[in-house]
Amino acid sequence: GGKAIPVSVFLRPRFGEERTAQIVHDCEQLAFQTAETLEDHFGRMVEFGLDIGIDVEGRAWLIEVNPKPAREIFREMGATEQYKNAITRPLEYAIYLGKTQGREGREPFLKRKVARG
C-alpha cells in the first residue's frame, strides 16, 4: 500500500537537510562496501538490488541483497533518467567486459573469431 518517493523527500522532514545528506552518504557507502564484499567473495555480479532501512536515529541497516534490482520503482517515482540508467548501465557494463576481459590471458571475448564448420 506504499508508494515510491525519493529518499531525501522522505528523510528531510524527519532529520533535516544536513542529517539527510549524511544518511544518504552512509547508504551509498554501505552499498559500495556490500557490493565490494560480495564480489570479493563470489566474483563479478554485475548488479544488485539492496534493501536498506533507516532507523529512528538515522542509522542505515542492510536488510537484504537481491540479485536483480527492482528497476520499476524509478519509473513509478517519475525518475526517468534513473530508470533509463538502471536499464542501460548493466548492458553497457556487459559490453565493456566483453571487449576487455579475456579468459586466462586470451583476447577479449568480442574480438575472438568463431570457428565455422
pTM: 0.69
Cβ-count burial of 113 within 10 angstroms (0-12 exposed, 13-18 middle, 19+ buried)?
exposed
Domain borders along the chain are 1-69, 70-117
Question: For residues 49 and 39, is the Cβ–Cβ distance under 8 A?
Answer: no
- Cα 69 from Cα 24, distance rounded (Å): 18
Q: Are 50 and 31 in contact (CB under 8 A)?
A: yes
- Mean pLDDT in runs of 10 for the chain (117 residues)? 86 97 97 92 84 96 88 85 88 83 57 52
pLDDT value, residue 102: 62
